[in-house]
Structure formats: C-alpha cells, structure tokens
Amino acid sequence: MSAVVSLRPTGPKHFLDLKDFTGAELRALLDAAAAFKRGSPKKPLAGKSLAMIFEKPSTRTRVSFEIAAKELGGNTVALSARDMQIGRGETIADTANVLSRFVQGILLRTDSAAKLHELARHASVPVINGLTELSHPCQIMADIFTFEEHKGPVAGQRIAWVGDGNNVAASFIEAAARFNFSLRLACPVGYMPRPEVLDWAKEEGADVEVGIDPDWAVENAACVVTDTWLSMSDSEDQAAARASAFAPYQVTAALMAKAAKGAIFQHCLPAHRGEEVAGEVIDGPASVVFDEAENRLHAQKAILAWAME
C-alpha cells in the first residue's frame, strides 16, 4: 500500500496553503508548535535569515514571525514593498532570485495570491504565505492549535464561521478537510466563500456546509469564529454596503448562547467591536482571542522550523 507522503511538489518547502499538506503533516506542525510552546530549546534557524515582505499592514504576523525566527536562532529583515525595487517595477522573478542568494526563507503578505505563487515559482528558498486576498494559512494553524488547547481534539467537533466568506474563511475550509472537523459557515448572499474553495472541499469529502443563517451555523458548535467585514483587499467604497449586509451577522451574546455549552469565540484580529462582534463577546469569558494571538508565535515557529531547518 502506498501512503501519500506529501501533496506538495518537490523543491523548496513552501508554506502556501493548507490544502498542499496532508492532515498528518499539519498535525506534525501542531505537535511541533506545542513543543515550542512548552519551551523547546531547539534553534533550527541558527545562522539563517528570513526576509519578510509586507505589501499590507500587519501587527501579529510581523511580530510573531520576527520573534519566532529570532527565538529559533535566526535573523530577520522586514521589508515594505513600498521601499523595495518591486515598487518601481523590478520583477517578482528577479526579486525571488536575488533574495534567494541572501536569505533562507521569504514571507510575503500581499493582496495578490498570483504574486505569492510567482514568488514561490522563482525562489530557491521556502516561501511562506503571510496572508493573501485568498487565504491566511498561518493564522488557521494557530486557530486550530488554540481550539485544541481549550476544547480537545478538533476532529469530529463543529466550528461555526459567521460573516464574510473571505481569505480566513477559505483557510478554515481547507483546515476542515485536513483536520476532519465539521465547519458550518453562515454568510450573507454575495459574500459566500469562493466556489473553487467549496468545490475543492466537496471533492475532498470535507464536512463543510454553507448557509445564510447564523443560528443554524452555531448549532452544536464548540467554537464560533468571525472576522472583519472589510478586509485589506476590499475597497473602502464597499464599506457601507458591507455594513448593511453583515449587520445581522454580528456575533452577539445571544448568538453565542445558541452554540454548544462552553463554546469559545475566536477572531484572528484586528477586531471591530460593535461591528462583527459585540464587545461583551470578544471581551467576555468565551473569548480566546489573545491566546489565539499568542499562539501565532508558537505556530509560526513550527512552520519556520519545518520550512527552513
């Protein structure tokens, strides 16, 4: 019997999307994250450097990767695309080739997944997805890690996503397939996850259902998740239309009360109290958002060690 060892092509160990990994590979990353959180002294990045390119703002991703790389013995260089020659038309291919001569890993946050994939095609060192308009896999590794700290093994449990079927939702869908949990998403019409992502989940046999009713989504859910109504890749011009479409999707205390007893609340942050979530929920006892933020650090260490050691 031939087991699937990896779904990724050969070459540098890119971390681009959860769907590129088997469940076993992702589980090994969570185990490594737990070891780092327990204080593993390993320094797999000793003598190595990570370049971090941010085309969009970031607090958690930037700080967690920078501290993670340094605590693993490595160096980092944080670059704003604005200050790079990329901003003046240097090609992604040339940038990938040049950076590959200086550093042993490249993180990119961009609003163009196509750019991320082009960088990965041309880099001879691992490329890590620090968020695109389509996905945010590093975040979801921290989210599953956090879920399991609070609620035990995620397999067979239900997570509810309430709000925009955005980049973070897409990575949750991929996670549902790989970690075997039930995912119900309630999104307004017009803001559903992309059909490609839902078709992929169906092909994988994932337990992913999409509807428009938040009450339905949170039924028996051990965790309720939401995200901002306006993502960094969305135009500010959409703010008013989105605010009205998403108003019935606010995660309120009343909605949390309809989830399973003891359900937790997650949000990747940054959050907007009074919009996607009520202050009493995100600042209340069910909220694990700061554990989730801290766990970015431990999850990022696992990803860096896997990709770069």
Catalytic residue positions, numbered = 109, 136, 139, 227, 268, 296
Half-sphere exposure of 198 (CA within 13 A, CB side): 11
Burial 80-96 (b: 16+ CB within 10 A, else e): ebeeeebeeeeebeebb
Which part of the chain contacts ligand CP (CB under 6 A), choosing from 58-66, 112-120, 143-151, 248-256? 58-66
Residues binding ligand NVA (CB under 6 A): 131, 166-168, 227-228, 231-232, 268
**Which one of ligand NVA, ligand CP, none is in contact with 266 (Cβ closer than 5 to 8 A by kind)?**
none
Half-sphere exposure of 184 (CA within 13 A, CB side): 20
CB 118 within 8 A of CB 275: no
CA 132 – CA 90 distance, rounded (Å) = 20
Lookup: tokens for 103: 């550093």
Minimum distance from CB of 54 to ligand CP (Å)? Answer: 9
Which part of the chain contacts ligand CP (CB under 6 A), choosing from 59-67, 72-80, 172-180, 212-220? 59-67
Minimum distance from CB of 184 to ligand NVA (Å)? Answer: 19
Which part of the chain contacts ligand CP (CB under 6 A), choosing from 6-14, 53-61, 87-95, 279-287? 53-61
CA 279 – CA 144 distance, rounded (Å) = 23
Q: Which is nearer to ligand NVA, 12 or 137 (CB)?
A: 137
Question: Is residue 61 a contact point for ligand CP (CB under 6 A)?
Answer: yes
> Which residues of the shown chain bind ligand CP in the complex (CB under 6 A)?
58-61, 131, 139, 268-269
